[in-house]
Amino acid sequence: MRSRIWRYVRLYGHFLAFSFSKGFEFRFDFYMRIIMDLCYYAVAIAFYRVLFLHTPNLGGWNEHQAMVFVSAYLIVDAINMTVFTNNLWFMPQLINRGDLDYYLTRPVSSLFFVSLRDFAANSFVNLLCALGIFAWAVARLGEPVSFARTALFFGLVGCGAFIFFTINAMANLLVFWTHAPNGFGELVWTLGKFGERPDGIYRGFARKVLLLVLPFGVISSFPARILIDGFEWRIFLHVVGITALFFGLLVGVWRFGLRSYSSASS
């Protein structure tokens, strides 16, 4: 088991090396991507600041607390952009054009390959920017936050990013059956909007759906809750449980999808 994990870590090392050597070739892209993400961050923060001109609290959070939440979803976004987004983007193409063939003949998990192969070296800097926003938001909270809590926050943010990836990946994998050109990734991307607002605003049936079925309400809100309100078993187990469940689902969908992979023949 341990040697297997090490093997996959080494494989990922190769992916990283490939991505960095490729990333440095496109300098314009490198800088533009940083500016683009800074725009995205600025827009997100400005939106919440405008809202808080008109209300003292939103879904149970005041402005400073809401900014911690905003920084959480920006970090989730940055992780996704760096680790997963490029791979998600190519997934439908790989399946539709039959380019999956070679991955399937290799004695390594093909899902691992398809999910992590392309590391976006040029988004890496944005992860640092997002962390900067987090530091700024925590400083404004006005109360000291323990190291353990911060560490737990980052652990759960990692889970959140992974949950977001699994939902998108499953949507993309529907092309195994539909053969539509870009799958449903874009749609789920749209649904991601639910996760850009604090979970506290959702009530009733919609809340249940967003916490359990399409867990966008969990991705960034729950880590922020742990950081702001302190550790709570219920919240912690919810995030970890959803992560495990969605990982299992993704593996299942992948295996099932491969059964109907028709490999656009040449």
Partner 1 sequence: MIEVEGIRKSFRLHKKAAGLKGSFVSLFHRKWEEKHALKGVSFKVSPGEIVGLVGANGAGKTTLVKILAGIVHPTEGKATVLGHTPWERKNAFRSRIALIMGQKASLWWDLPAEDCFLLLKEIYQIPEERYQSALKTLVDALGVRGQLNTQIRRLSLGERMKMELIAALLHDPQVVFLDEPTIGLDLTAQRAIRDFILRYSQEKKPAMILTSHYMEDIEKLCKRIIIIRDGEFVYDGPLAKITDRYAKFKVLTAKLDPTAAVHAATLFPKGLGEVVSSEPGELKVKVARDRVPEAASALLKSGGVLDLLIEEVDIADIIESLLREGVREGKSS
Partner 2 sequence: MSGWATQVVSFELRKVFTYRFTFWVKYFVGAITELTVAYFLWGAIFAATAGAPDSAPGSNRLGGYTFHGLLYYTLFATLGANVVRTLDRGGEISGEIYQGTLSRYLVYPVPYLAYRYAAYFGLQLISVGQLLFGVSVALALFGVPADLAITPGSIALGIFTALLSGALSFTLTACLELVAFWQDTVWNLMAMLRFIGNLLGGLMIPISLFPEWGRSFVAFTPFPYLFSFPIRCFLGQVGGAEWFREASVLAFWILATSGAAAFIWRRGTRVYSGVGI
* Residue ranges in contact with partner 2 by CB under 8 A: 26, 28-29, 32-33, 35-36, 39-40, 43, 46-47, 50-51, 53-59, 178, 180-182, 184, 186-187, 190-191, 193-194, 197, 200-203, 206
As a whole number of angstroms, the distance between CA 16 and CA 169 comes to 21
Q: Which residues have CB under 8 Å from 101's CB, separation 6+?
A: 263
> Can residue 42 be called a binding residue for partner 1 (CB under 8 A)?
no
Structure-block tokens of residue 100:
């999956």
Give the whole-angstrom CA distance, residue 227 versus residue 172. Answer: 32
Is the CB of 17 or the CB of 51 nearer to partner 1? Answer: 17
55's contact among partner 1, partner 2, none, with CB below 5 to 8 A by partner kind, is: partner 2
Nearer to partner 2, 41 or 153 (CB): 41
Note whether 101 binds partner 1 by CB under 8 A: yes
Closer CB to partner 1, 18 or 89, in the complex: 18
Q: From the CB of 209, what's the least distance to partner 2, in Å?
A: 10
Contact 223, 239 (CB under 8 A): yes
Question: Which residues are CB-contacts of 100 (< 8 A; sequence separation ≥ 6)?
Answer: 94, 110, 114, 261, 263
Of 57 and 262, CB closest to partner 1: 262
Please tell me the distance from the alpha carbon of residue 171 to that of residue 169, in angstroms, as a whole number: 5
CB atoms within 10 A of CB 9: 9
Instruction: Please identify, among the stretches 13-21, 44-52, 198-206, 220-228, the one whose residues bind partner 1 according to the rule CB under 8 A.
Output: 13-21
From the list 20, 22, 128, 135, which residue makes contact with partner 1 (rule: CB under 8 A)?
A: 22
Nearer to partner 2, 96 or 243 (CB): 96
Q: Tokens for 82?
A: 């760096």
Q: Is 58 helix (H, G, I), strand (E, B) or coil?
A: strand
What DSSP string runs through 122-185?
A: GGHHHHHHHHHHHHHHHHHH-S---HHHHHHHHHHHHHHHHHHHHHHHHHHHTHHHH--SSTTH
Which of 11-19, 120-128, 134-142, 159-167 is the region at the interface with partner 1 (rule: CB under 8 A)?
Answer: 11-19
DSSP 207: H
Determine the angle formed by the axes of helices 147-173 and 63-79, rounding to 10 degrees: 50
Of 70, 100, 171, 226, which one interacts with partner 1 (CB under 8 A)?
100
Residue 256 interacts with partner 1 (CB under 8 A)?
no
146 binds partner 1 (CB under 8 A): no
Interface residues toward partner 1, by CB under 8 A: 7, 10-11, 14, 17-18, 21-22, 25, 98-102, 104-108, 110, 258-263, 265-266
